[in-house]
Amino acid sequence: MTDEQSARQIAQDVAARKRSAESVVANALDRLHAADNAYQLLVALDADGTLARARDVDRRIAAGQRIGPLAGVPVAIKDNICTSFLPTTCASRILDGFRPPYDAHVVEKLRAAGAVIVAKTNLDEFAMGSSTENSALRPTRNPWDPQRVPGGSSGGSAVAVAARAVPIALGSDTGGSIRQPASLCGVCGLKPTYGRVSRYGLVAFASSLDQVGPFATDVHDLALVLSVIAGHDARDSTAVDEPLPDYAAELDRPPGKLRIGRVREHFAEGLDPPVAAAVDAAFETFRSLGAEIVDLSLPHAPYAVACYYLICTAEASSNLARYDGVHYGYRTPRPADYVDVYAASRAEGFGPEVKRRIMLGTFALSSGYHDAYYLRALRVRTLIKNDFLGAFRSCDLILGPTTPTAAFRLGEKTEDPLAMYLADIYTVSANLAGIPALSIPCGFTPDGLPIGMQLAGPLFAEARLLQAAAAYQSRTTWHTRAPASNRS
């Protein structure tokens, strides 16, 4: 992406009336249309309504109103984030056509900052998956190779940015759902600290792990969006009332002398050699930037995936109980009786992966199994948190691969849920510990597929993370590469 298509440049131009929000948004709609034809990334788009909202931004500017830092910037939103002006379906049949009566906190914040929400993007149903193949609509394809998956669950948002249709998009990350597709699509994605961004209006998958975050082509735009969407919200009791730095301004400060942790367990079995090589090269880049590399261990990392899948399924089984055919959403057309309204609506409304997780979670919480599974998983979670606390005493950030491999082929893992779950092996720990983590491009495989690296930091250390990532991007050009058919 050329600099003129970055979110910050668009906002500057629109605010200065060099470009109109309407023209920027019209252009984005055209690109989204083309990208959707090629990669099937959209769930909902309303061109007329969107253009009207863009003209509204132009009117506010013309009237001399103070406009925010995202004036006229087109943003795509994962379809599990509530919008009152576009349906919100979570790519599930059970919420087919559902339109929330309210906007999510992050949507309010974006709109108040002048952004124009242009579309809702595809995802694995209820954010459950790592390939966007679990969408009830259709799978989304990777712009670097349409025979491959874009990752998931926020696959549609990652592709919208990777295909240069929009400069920024929002996703949600419960176990890697922003970072893993960012890695597979060659873009930047950030999962903030748990509680940094309000979850109000994010349709819950696993409430203690879910966090909204941005996709962008570079770290500057990530920082810009984070400054807009982060902050306290009284409607989310788990949102933390911490001072909010101006992340974009923080980027201009050098990160200082960094100690970067290299986790032994990240370079064990299962890591693809090209990925390992790209990440090793990134360590060298940081060394050349003056960083000290610290070898360390996260001893409970091998248990993270098991722990994660017990906790997220337990919470999901409860969070998804409300989709019952009684109050809203899909209802079976001819229920046999009152119980069948529930049973048949849910059987027909949910896809196989969602059902699998509801059953796993229900089992993990059942009396007789609750202590052996759910409670034990909570204890392991505490151990994993403590691992990170210990690690961050000897380093400032942890660097490693985001995923063990680059993008895999469509259908390659759909028959093997466990293999699919292992795509999250490096990302779930940050959600269990609540810490911030981002993925940025750091190389390509011999086949030309992007490789991502993950930087994780202590709680609320987003500024430090973004500084380090910006320093890396000042020395490298991986993030500037776009898939062949989308270069602008």
Partner 1 sequence: MSNLTIRPIIGMETHVQLATRTKMFCGCPVEFGAEPNSRVCPVCLGLPGALPVINRRAVDLAIRMGLALNCRIATFSKWDRKSYYYPDLPKNYQISQYDLPIAAEGHFELPPRDAGEPRRVRIRRAHLEEDAGKNLHEGLDHTRVDLNRAGTPLLEIVTEPDLASADEAFAFASELQRLAVWLGVSEGVMQKGQMRFEPNVNVAITFGGVEYRTPIAEIKNLNSFRAIRNAIAYEIDRQVGEWRRDHDYTLEKCGKLNLGWDDDRGVTEFQRSKEEAHDYRYFPDPDLVPVTISAEQIDAIRSEIGELPLARQERLRMQLALTDVDAATLTADRATSDLLAAAIAVGGDPKTLCKQFISFWSAQANARSTTIAGLGVSAPRLAELANLTRDGTISATAAATVAQKMLDVPAAPREIAAAAGLLQVRDEAATREWVEQAVAANPQAVRDAKENPRKRQAAAGFLRGQVMKISGGKANPKLVGELIERRLAEP
Instruction: Supply the residues annotated as catalytic.
Output: 78, 153, 177
Buried b (16+ CB within 10 A) or exposed e, 359-378: ebbbbbbeeeeeeebbeebe
CB of 364 to partner 1, least distance (A): 9
Shortest Cβ 462–partner 1 spacing (Å): 21
Report in angstroms how near the CB of residue 357 gets to partner 1 at its nearest.
15
Angle at 481 between CA 70 and CA 219, to 5 degrees: 40
Q: Is 152 in contact with 130 (CB distance < 8 Å)?
A: yes
Q: Binding to partner 1 by residue 366, rule CB under 8 A?
A: yes
* Sheet of strand 437-444: strand arrangement: 42-45, 116-121, 74-78, 168-172, 212-216, 188-191, 437-444, 450-456, 397-401, 259-263, 292-296
Residue from 86, 90, 291, 482 binding partner 1 (CB under 8 A): 90
**66 near partner 1, judged by CB under 8 A:** no
Judged by CB under 8 A, which of 253, 322, 475, 487 binds partner 1?
322
Q: Is 342 in the site for partner 1 (CB under 8 A)?
A: yes
Q: Which of residues 201-240 bind partner 1 (CB under 8 A)?
A: 201-204, 206-208, 234-238
Q: Is 314 in the site for partner 1 (CB under 8 A)?
A: yes
φ/ψ of residue 400, rounded to 5: -170, -175
Q: Which residues share a beta bridge with 295?
A: 262
259-263 vs 397-401, strand pairing mode? parallel
Contact 174, 143 (CB under 8 A): no
Q: Tell me whether residue 91 or residue 466 sits nearer to partner 1 (CB atom).
A: 91
Q: Is 102 in the site for partner 1 (CB under 8 A)?
A: yes
Q: Which is nearer to partner 1, 195 or 458 (CB)?
A: 195
Q: Which residues pair with 212 in a beta bridge?
A: 172
Using CB under 8 A as the binding rule, whether residue 47 contacts partner 1 is answered as no
100 binds partner 1 (CB under 8 A): yes
348 in contact with partner 1 (CB under 8 A): no
CA pair distance 117, 120, nearest whole angstrom: 8
Closest separation between CB of residue 55 and partner 1, Å? 28
Structure tokens at 175: 């176990």
Distance CA 429, CA 41 (A): 28
Q: Where does this chain touch partner 1 (CB under 8 A) — which range of 151-159, 282-290, 364-372, 406-414? A: 364-372
User: Applying CB under 8 A, which residues contact partner 1?
Assistant: 81-82, 88, 90, 95, 98, 100-102, 104, 199-204, 206-208, 234-238, 314-315, 317-318, 321-322, 324, 326-328, 338, 342, 362, 365-367, 370, 374
